[in-house]
Amino acid sequence: MPVPKALRPVGIALVDKPAGPSSFGIVAALRRRTRARTGHAGTLDPFATGLLVLLSGAATRLAPCFVGLDKRYVTDIDLTSTTTTGDPEGEIVEQHPAPSRAGLDEALARLRGEIELPIPAASAVKIDGERAYKLARRGVAVDMPLRRSLVHALDVITYSGDAAAVPSVRIELHVSSGTYVRSIAQALGGHCTTLRRTAVGPFAVDESAPVEDATLLPVAEALGRLPGDALDRVPDAVRAGVLALDAPVGNGNAA
């Protein structure tokens, strides 16, 4: 069956992804409902939950406006082991004693501000023309490139254990686009056990719904919430063309 390419309905869907399905599975589910071309403004790993910003119809032409927005996450990190993927889906690579609270706080301090960390091996980045996660599945060891990102805020919500040993920690992060939270977990000597995206730019997960219930936010309303530098990523003429196809406010439901 050919992939739908209809330019309508037009809008932005704020979807709360559950753990399990891939982000592309969620995109396909919305596409089946709307029968329009559908894109995304950043994916989540299958184990992760939270906000996916999906673009329907002609709104896919506006992807650059949304892709570069800051993200917010809450994650639980097991500080006693690392895995091949930086999350619970990988094999355990190393086990070690839990850090002290003081040692953990020192490590967290080093991860605030501008940082450079290796991209996880289980990622979609291409190495010599092939996706890194495919190489990892075959057991091919590669030196992963570093990625520079900005950690605006990294705050502890809860520590487990006591001052002498903290087996796990829950943290809240506000980071620039393209930041791998799994890399931050690995830099702390652990791996993510849960990961939830709570916001993408001005859009919060509290506004979202499961893909089967998600409605389409009118493009004009969504663009009106973006900063000027995000709007500048798409030419005025392209934005005007999409707005001309935008559904009326009273007709924002997905089909």
Instruction: State whether residue 40 is helix, strand or coil.
Output: strand
CA distance 67 to 43: 10
CATH number, domain 11-69+202-251, options 1.20.120, 1.10.10, 2.60.40, 3.30.70: 3.30.70
Residue 122 CA to residue 88 CA, distance in Å, equals: 12
Residues labelled as active-site residues: 45
Any idea what DSSP says for residue 57?
Answer: G
Question: Confidence band (pLDDT; 50, 70, 90) for 5?
Answer: confident
> What is the C-alpha separation between 14 and 201, in angstroms, rounded?
12
Domain boundaries, the chain: 11-69+202-251, 71-199
* 71-199: CATH, from 1.20.1430.10, 3.60.20.30, 3.30.70.930, 3.30.2350.10: 3.30.2350.10
Give bridge partners of residue 74 from the DSSP assignment.
172, 196
Q: Which residues pair with 78 in a beta bridge?
A: 168, 191
Task: Report residue 138's pLDDT band, with 50, 70 and 90 as the boundaries.
Answer: low
Query: Band of the pLDDT at 112, cuts 50, 70, 90?
Result: very high
Would you place residue 226 in the very low, low, confident or very high pLDDT band (cuts 50, 70, 90)? very high
Tokens standing for residue 17: 């992804």
pTM over 0.75: yes
Compute the average pLDDT of residues 60-88. Answer: 96
Q: Which residue has the tokens 């994650």?
A: 75
